[in-house]
Amino acid sequence: MKKFSALAFILAIILILSACGSSQDSSGDSKKGSSEPKKTLKVGTDASYAPFEYMDKGKITGFDVDFLKAVMKEAGYKYNLVNVGWDPLFVELKNKTSDLGISAITINDERKQTYDFSKAYFLSTNEILVPENSKIKSAADLKGKRIAVQSGTTGQEAVEKLIGKNNKNIKKFKQNTLAIQELIHGGADAVVADNTVVEDYAKNNPNQKLKVIADKKAFAPEYYGLMFPKGSKLKPTFDKAIETLYDNGTYEKIYKKWFKVKPDVANLKAQK
């Protein structure tokens, strides 16, 4: 009996300690006063897209990371943010091995067929990154040029509309950083990607002598959203949390921290 009691006591202690443990990757506190515990969510991202998500001293950082932390706190969830990569992110959400994704993901009709999206949380558009001495002045000048893009992005879609889907001059890369390196090393004449990304790169790498070209006639506005598996029950909760961040000033504070200007919250709130 004594041996049995001792063993039961040890097992009880182990169970208690296991229940108290938490993942080191979990970042974000659930809201106080929650009546029942919620699962820790797995959030996928591609941390190679500065300033939205990128690696800094072994840690994922960026605008999306700060925004996600605020949304999770408001929604009352703990979470693990995992750098799975761009293409695997879509696979994980389709297979429901991740609960949601955040990675500067543009909301569009094609993706809506397979995934659900939150309310829009960022306004973007594609722009062109070229060497300072480039003669390219608009999207029309990209015809006949070698253009580097990240595979599976709206930048790729935009270029395909301009010069043809199967055009041999479209050079596709798994990461936008690789597309930019192709430009720098002379393998491409231009990169087409989200405006904030190319502007951030040109600004932070003046030694590369690059410039950014905007063409609002060729590139339509785009909106980013959190992406969920189709039919996810999380969407209404996160839509409400995002709306609260707009109303209480938290979103504007995060936006100004990263971009030094005020966001167009009214525009974002108007998107359905």
Q: What SS3 string covers 105-123?
A: CECCHHHHCCEEECCCCEE
Look at residue 205 in the predicted model and tell me its pLDDT: 97
- Please check whether residue 121 is in contact with residue 268, taking contact to mean a CB–CB distance below 8 angstroms: yes
Q: Would you state the pLDDT for residue 24?
A: 31
Domain with CATH 3.40.190.10 in the chain: 38-123+222-270, 126-213
51 upstream amide cis, omega within 30 of 0: yes
Burial class, 59, CB count within 10 angstroms (exposed 0-12 / middle 13-18 / buried 19+): exposed
The parts of the chain modelled with pLDDT lower than 70 are 1-37
Q: Give the burial class of 145: count Cβ atoms within 10 A of its Cβ; 0-12 exposed, 13-18 middle, 19 or more buried.
A: middle
Q: Is 167 helix (H, G, I), strand (E, B) or coil?
A: coil
The pLDDT assigned to 11 comes to: 36
DSSP 197-208: HHHHHHHH-GGG
H or E element in which residue 42 lies: strand 41-45
The residue type found at 142 is L
Q: Are 242 and 151 in contact (CB under 8 A)?
A: no
Do the Cβ atoms of 94 and 160 come closer than 8 Å? Answer: no
Specify the CATH class of 126-213 in words: alpha beta
Separation of alpha carbons 220 and 207, rounded Å: 30
Q: How does strand 41-45 pair with strand 79-83?
A: parallel
* pLDDT score for 218: 95
Which residues pair with residue 148 across a beta bridge? 171, 191
pLDDT the model gives residue 15: 35
d(CA 118, CA 228) in angstroms, rounded, equals 8
pLDDT at 84: 97
CATH class of 38-123+222-270: alpha beta
How buried is 260 (Cβ within 10 angstroms: 0-12 exposed, 13-18 middle, 19+ buried)? exposed
